[in-house]
Structure 1
Amino acid sequence: MIWFLRRCVLAPAVVVLTVLLWVTFPLWLIAAAALSPLLPGRWRALRLLWLLILYLSCEALMLMVLLGLWLASGFGRRIRTPYFEGIHYDLVQGLMWVFFREARRVLRLRIETDGLAPDAHPGVPILVACRHAGPGDSFTLIHALMHWYSREPRVVLKDTLGWDPMIDVVLHRIPARFITPNPGQGEDLESQIAELASGLDENDAFVIFPEGGNFTPHRRERAIERLNQLGMHRMARRAEAMTNVLAPRPGGFIAALDAAPDADVVLVAHTGLDHLLTVADVWRELPMDKVIVMRWWQVPRAEIPEGREARIEWLFGWWERIDAWVEQNRPEDLSPGRR
C-alpha cells in the first residue's frame, strides 16, 4: 500500500503540482515581490519561491526521465544492471550540480574543503563517516563525493526520506538502504548495513552517519541517557564532554568495516550551518550568506584497530577530535583570512 501511494499517487502529484506552479508563475511572482519588502532579509520570499520551483521542476523532470528508463529497461527487468546503474548515477550527479549551483547563488553560500581529500588514495574504496548537523548536510556530502571526488556513493538513510518520490525511485535502483533508527522485526540493522557495504570497488564510497540523527541538544541528552541506561558510564562521561556532536552509535559503522575489509575510512566534519536547528532558525537566516567548511581525514585501513571494543574506542576518539574541530571552527570564529 505504501509503495502504491509513493509511486502512483505522490509521484504524479508532484508532476501535476509543478505544471500548475509554472502556469500560475506570474501570480506567484507578483505575490512574492509584494511580500518581500514586508519581510526581513533581502528578497526572502522571491528567493524561496525560486528554490521551491527549481526543486519541484528538477524532481518532476527526473521522475519523467526515470519512467522512461524503466520502460527502456524492459519494464524494469534490467534496471539494476551496471549499464542502467551508471546512467542513474550520472543523472543524480547532474541534478545535484544544477540544484547546488542555484542554491549557492540564491542563498549566497560557499563551500570550502580542508584536509586530505578522499581522492588522495585513488583505487581504494572508502567508508565515509560524517557528522550529522544542520540543514542539507547529507546532500552536501553526497554532492562533494560525486562532483569533486568522482565517487559513487552507497547511502544509508532514514526511511522517512523515501516519501520524496524522486529519492524513493532513484535509491531503489542504485545501492542504498532505507532504514529505521530503531528497527523492530525482520532483518536487523547491522546486517542490512553489512550487506550494503559488501563488494565495494575502487570508486565506491559507503556513506554512514554514526550519530543516527541530526544534532540537537535534546538528542544529545537522550544519547547520554541511553549510554547510562546501558551501563556504559565511561562512554556517557565522554559523550557529556562533547558539546557539538552526538555520541556515535558504533554498531552500523563496525558492521560496514567488517563487510569491507579493503576500504579506508574517511571522517568528515563540517561547520557553517550546524547552528540552524529548527525551521524558524533557517527562516531567520535567509538569505544565509555563509561559508560551509568541510574537513576531511582519511585513515588507511592498516591504522584501524581490530576487535569490536578497540574499534569503539577508536571511533569515540575520532568523534572527540571532530567535536574539538567544530568548536575551533565555528562560523563566528572564522577570520576573513581563514575564510
Structure 2
Amino acid sequence: MARAARWAVRRWVLAPAVVLLAVLMWVTLPLWLLAGAALSPLLPGRWRALRLLWVFVVYLTMQGVLLPVLLGLWLASGCGRAVRRPYWEGIHYDLVQGVMWVFFREARRVLHLTIATDGPDPAAHPGRPLLVACRHAGVGDSFVLVHALMHWYRREPRVVLKDTLAWDPVIGVLLTRIPARFISPEPGAGEQLEDQIAALAGDLDDDDAFVIFPEGGNFTSARRQRGIDRLRALGLERMAERAEALTHVLAPRPGGFIAALDAAPEADVLLVAHTGLDHLDSVGDVWRELPMDKRIVMRWWDVPRSEIPAGREERIEWLYDWWGRVDDWIAEHRPEELPVPARRRPWRPRRDG
C-alpha cells in the first residue's frame, strides 16, 4: 500500500472508527463488565479479565477524546500550516505529558504495579541534551520510557519508532506534529535509515532527549537467532560469538546509534534496562503477559560524552560491552510479585450495650 493511501486510511477511516468504537464501548459497558466478571474466575490471576477490560476502556476513551482535540488543534493552527512551529509543538508535548500521566496513573492503580526507577540524578545533565538507548522487549517499554523521560527527567523526547505503530490513530497523528521518526527497517535500507536518524538527532536542545532502541525490534528467541545468523553471514564471527553470549537481549545494531552520536556531539548518553515488560509483542501477548501485581524496575546508567570512544569500531565494541552489562542486569533482576491488597472489611454500625 502506497504511503499516501496508508495516510488516508489512518486519517479518514481508522480515526473516525475509533471515536465511534469508544462511544459504543461506553454505551454497552455494562454488558462488557458482566462478561468480564463471568470470565475472571476461569482465568489465571486476580480478576484478570475485568482489569484488562478496564485498562482497554481507559485507553480507548483517551483515543476517543484525543482525536477530536487533535482535529481542533489542526484547525486552530491554520489547517496544519503552523502545527510544527515551536508554540504548537509545545502544546502537543504538554498534551502527551498529560495523557501519559493520566493513563499510567490509572494503569498502575488497576493493575497494582509499582515502577521503581534506579539511576542517576536527573539534574546531572544541566544544559546538555541526552541520547537514550534502551533495550526493547515490547510496546510497553516505549510508553514507560517516554513517561519517565517527561516526568522524571523533564525532557522532550524525540523517538525513533517502527512505522507499524503509526496505525495507532493517536500515535500516528501526535508523532507527526512533534520531532519523531517512523522508520521501516527494510533489507538494504541501512544508510537511508541512518540518514533519517541523524536528521532527527541533529540540533538537540538542552531539554531534548533522543530515544533509540539499538536492537531494532522486540526480543524474541527467533529474532535473537536470526541476528546471530546475520552476523555470521556477514563474516563477523567474533560479533556473532558475542551475540550468542547475550541471552535476554538482541545483539545491538550499531549503525543508527552511531549516526545519532555523530549528529549530536554535545549529548551525553543514558542506557536503560528494565524487567517486567517483556514479551508484549502482540495482542495475545498483552492478554497473557501484561504484568499485574508486580514491581517493575527500570535501571539507568549515565555515560558522560568524554567516556565514549571516537572511532566507529571502538564505539561498536563499547556498545556491545554495555549490552552485555544490560543482559547481566536483566538476568539478576526479575519482576517481583507484590502481595495482593487485603480486602477492606465492610463497615457496620457499632452496637452499644
Tell me the equivalent position of 2:192: 188
Between the aligned partners of 1:287 and 1:268, the Cα distance in structure 2 is 19
Q: Is the 8 A contact 1:42 1:287 kept in 2?
A: no
Supply the AA of the counterpart residue of 1:317: D
Tell me the equivalent position of 2:136: 132
Question: Is residue 2:235 matched to residue 1:217?
Answer: no
Question: Is residue 2:104 matched to residue 1:62?
Answer: no
Tell me the equivalent position of 1:274: 278
| Match for residue 305 of structure 1 among 309, 319, 343 | 309
Post-superposition offset of 1:283: 3.2
Tell me the equivalent position of 2:13: 9
Between the aligned partners of 1:156 and 1:198, the Cα distance in structure 2 is 13
Supply the AA of the counterpart residue of 1:15: V
**Higher mean C-alpha deviation, range 229-238 or range 270-279:** 270-279
Question: Is residue 2:235 matched to residue 1:226?
Answer: no
Tell me the equivalent position of 1:325: 329
| Match for residue 45 of structure 2 among 22, 41, 51 | 41
Specify whether residues 169 and 280 from structure 1 end up closer, same or farther in structure 2 by C-alpha distance, changes over 3 A only. closer
Q: Is the 8 A contact 1:117 1:296 kept in 2?
A: no
Post-superposition offset of 1:121: 1.4
Q: Is the 8 A contact 1:224 1:236 kept in 2?
A: yes
Question: Is residue 2:179 matched to residue 1:175?
Answer: yes
Supply the AA of the counterpart residue of 1:103: A
Alpha-carbon displacement from aligned partner over 1:143-198 (angstroms, at most 9, x marks no partner) = 00011111000000000000011000000000000001226679810000000000
Q: Which ranges of structure 1 fall in alignment gaps of 5 or more residues?
A: none
Q: TM-score, normalised by structure 2?
A: 0.90
Secondary structure of the residue aligned to 2:124 is coil
Q: Is the 8 A contact 1:152 1:205 kept in 2?
A: yes
Post-superposition offset of 1:227: 0.6
Tell me the equivalent position of 1:254: 258
Q: Is the 8 A contact 2:190 2:255 kept in 1?
A: no
Between the aligned partners of 1:287 and 1:52, the Cα distance in structure 2 is 14
**Higher mean C-alpha deviation, range 280-289 or range 7-16:** 280-289
> When the two structures are aligned, how many residues end up with a matched partner?
335
Between the aligned partners of 2:338 and 2:172, the Cα distance in structure 1 is 41
Post-superposition offset of 1:286: 5.8
CA RMSD of aligned residues (A): 2.0
Tell me the equivalent position of 1:93: 97
Tell me the equivalent position of 1:20: 24
**Higher mean C-alpha deviation, range 284-293 or range 205-214:** 284-293
Post-superposition offset of 1:131: 0.6
Between the aligned partners of 2:152 and 2:289, the Cα distance in structure 1 is 27
Tell me the equivalent position of 2:246: 242
Q: Is the 8 A contact 1:239 1:247 kept in 2?
A: yes
Alpha-carbon displacement from aligned partner over 1:78-111 (angstroms, at most 9, x marks no partner) = 1000000000000001001111111111111111
Supply the AA of the counterpart residue of 1:298: D
Larger Rg: 2
Secondary structure of the residue aligned to 1:149 is coil
Q: Is the 8 A contact 1:190 1:251 kept in 2?
A: yes
Question: Is residue 2:128 matched to residue 1:107?
Answer: no
Tell me the equivalent position of 2:318: 314
Alignment of 1:152-167 (within 5 A): 152-167=156-171
Alpha-carbon displacement from aligned partner over 1:217-267 (angstroms, at most 9, x marks no partner) = 111111111111111110111111111111000000000000001000110
Tell me the equivalent position of 1:32: 36
Post-superposition offset of 1:30: 2.0
Q: Which ranges of structure 2 fall in alignment gaps of 5 or more residues?
A: 340-353
Post-superposition offset of 1:117: 4.0
Between the aligned partners of 1:242 and 1:214, the Cα distance in structure 2 is 14
Tell me the equivalent position of 1:141: 145
Identity of paired residues, percent?
A: 74
